[in-house]
Amino acid sequence: MLVEKVDFISIPSQDKERAKEFYGEVLGLELEKQTPIGYEFAAGNVTIGIWEPEAVGMEFQPNPAPLALRVPDVEAARVELEGKGVQFHGETRDSSVCHMAFFADPDGNGLMLHHRYAPNAG
């Protein structure tokens, strides 16, 4: 099997209109299109697909593993989002190779602001 690339990342929601506002207005992602069960947003090199699992007979469960959103400056992005009412989980972390700040969308899906400042090894 040859995997060419990741086409999209699925983000479950219980309220696709609320999620549309969060990802579009709060995070500032570009809306690519509306689908029968949600919305697709451009996020750099991948599409974020917001969908309502109940619309296809599946149970909603938020994804707690954070989706890392690369930004040029984690602290500046954090201040911007806090100004829009986003609450972060703890302080911004420095791993000695990157900065990270954790938060969640209104459905409880994990998100992270991320910026790698050290070069990749190898």
Q: How confident is the model at residue 119 (pLDDT cuts 50, 70, 90)?
A: confident
Element spanning 78, H or E: helix 74-83
Which pLDDT belongs to residue 120?
74
Domains within the chain, CATH numbers bracketed: 1-58 (3.10.180.10), 62-122 (3.10.180.10)
Q: What is the pLDDT of residues 65-103, one digit of tens each?
A: 999 999 999 999 999 999 999 999 999 999 999 999 999
Total-model pTM: 0.92
d(CA 71, CA 69): 6
User: Which is it for strands 67-70 and 110-116: parallel, antiparallel or unpaired?
Assistant: parallel
- pLDDT of 121 reads 67
pLDDT at 122 over 90: no
Report the distance separating Cα 19 and Cα 4, nearest Å. Answer: 29
User: Would you state the structure tokens that stand for residue 104, as one six-digit string?
Assistant: 């969640």
Asked if residue 65 lies in contact with residue 108, where contact means CB atoms within 8 angstroms, the answer is: no
Which amino acid type is present at position 60? Answer: F
For 19-66, the pLDDT digits (tens) are 999 999 999 999 999 999 999 999 988 999 999 999 999 999 999 999
Q: Report CA Rg, the chain.
A: 15
